[in-house]
Structure formats: structure tokens, C-alpha cells
Amino acid sequence: MNRRTETALRYRFIILLTLFTPILFSQVVEKSIQRGDTSNFPAIRTRIKDQTFFIELDPKNTKAYYQRAELKMYMDDFEGAIADYTTGMALDPSSYYPLYMRGACKERTGDLNGSLADFNKAVILAPANEWCLNDRGLIENKLKKFKEAESDFRKALAIKANWSVALFSLGLNADDQNEYASALDFYQKSTSADSTNYKAYHNIGVINNKLEKYELAITYFNIAIKLYPRYAKAFSNRAEAKYKSGNKSGACEDMRKALEYGDTNELDIINKFCKDN
């Protein structure tokens, strides 16, 4: 039931990005197809073959490389996507986009330093791009470079005032340093800027769990679940709040929901504590 925000890059993988429109990982995946859903894989493989055909016809077709890379990302083939973005960089050296996306893929493979190096280069090419700054900040956050991360998030806010994404990132950065009052303030500002930001409501709930304010935590988990009914982490953390506030049957019900929506960590807990509920 421990929380580790899946932001960051955000957060999980990208679902069919619009070309040249960087999208934060954590903002997309849970509103679309869930990781592990293989129902669309045959169609995706066909589209990969189509892009490969276009590349064979014209080896300098950067659009085909980028589209094939995005499709590979959907299939969790991040190494393959990195190869395509690397080719795109050679063909399109003045564009920040392949650097940005290659950095995102490297984050997915666990190469945080390589990811940061790519984001650094992307920011040089696009210093006024709020997504580049915000997502570089998320990598810096993962590397525990909290001051650098905060600086990037604030730069992003200077470019796009009252931006819910950067406000959420500032909350995450404070949260990871156990600065709960500051984190709550940024998360609240994020929800004020975007009332559909279910992750911000969820993280407010998590902090209230830590502060042993379980009823208040449940209120915020309820909002997150209403906005995103398949949010496994919200069910898992609401189960914790219910259990610690004395509602064991409600906790077990939520743990089963979390398991149904992909949180396999709940299985052992359910088997141990929920046999009679």
C-alpha cells in the first residue's frame, strides 16, 4: 500500500502520441489503455510493419521513424524506440523532439543519467518548452536533485502560468522531501487549476494517511476514484485508510478492487487478512 507516484514520467508509457506534441507519461496512460492490455497488439504490429515499409521506401523519412518509435513504446519495446529516435536525431538534428522522446524512453529502461543527458540537450534546443523543463525536473527528482527539479518546475510555471502539471510536480518534489505542508499546498493549487487532476487528489489522500487523518484521506481517495474509477493505487491506499480507521470489510473490498485493476501486491494481503470479509 506504499505510494510511489507513477509520474513522472511520469509516470508509466505513452499511448500513440500526437507527433511533435510531447505528453507527460503519467498524464496519459491511465486514461486510455491499461498496461498489460494486449487486445490492440495485432493492430499495432501491423502499423509497425507499415512504418517499416515507408522507411524502406525512403530511409530519410523522419516521420515514419517517429511514428514507428511511438508504436514500439506502446508495445514496451523501449530499446527499439530508442534506436528509431536516435536515427531521427541524425536526420533531424535541429529538433528537440527525438531527444525529448529518447530521454523519456531511457527513463523507462532505468537509465536516469542517460535520460537526463537527453533532456538537457532537448532544453537547449527548446528552452521555452514547458514540457521539456517539467519532464527534465521529474528526472532530476528521481535522481534526488530536488533543488534542480524545483528550479525546472518553476521555470515551466513561468512559461505557462498556473499550469496544473507543474504545480503537481512541485507538490511531488516537496512530498518526496517529506515537506507535507508545502506538498499539500501545491497539490491543492494543482486541483484548483485542473479539477480533473485525479493524481493530485490521490496524493493529498496519501499525505493525510501519513498524518493519520484517515477520514479526510478517504474523502480525497473518493474524489480520485470518481474521476478515474479504475485507479488501482487509489483503491489500495483507501483500503489502508479504511483498515486503520476500523473498517476491515471496506478495506478488503477496496483491496479486491485494487487487485482487479492490476495491483498484484494486494493478493498476499487479501489471502492473509480478508478470508472472512
d(CA 203, CA 3): 8
Walk me through the domains of the chain, giving residue ranges and CATH numbers.
1-126 (1.25.40.10), 195-277 (1.25.40.10)
- CA-to-CA separations, 164 to 28, 111, 160, in angstroms, rounded: 14, 27, 9
Which pTM value belongs to this model? 0.83
Per-residue pLDDT at 40:
80
Instruction: List, for residues 249-275, the tens digit of each pLDDT value.
Output: 999 999 999 999 988 877 777 777 787
Q: Provide the residue-wise pLDDT of the chain in tens; the chain has 277 residues.
A: 434 433 333 333 333 333 333 333 333 333 333 444 566 888 999 999 999 999 999 999 999 999 999 999 999 999 999 999 999 999 999 999 999 999 999 999 999 999 999 999 999 999 999 999 999 999 999 999 999 999 999 999 999 999 999 999 999 999 999 999 999 999 999 999 999 999 999 999 999 999 999 999 999 999 999 999 999 999 999 999 999 999 999 999 999 999 999 888 777 777 777 877 6
- C-alpha cell of 56? 524502406
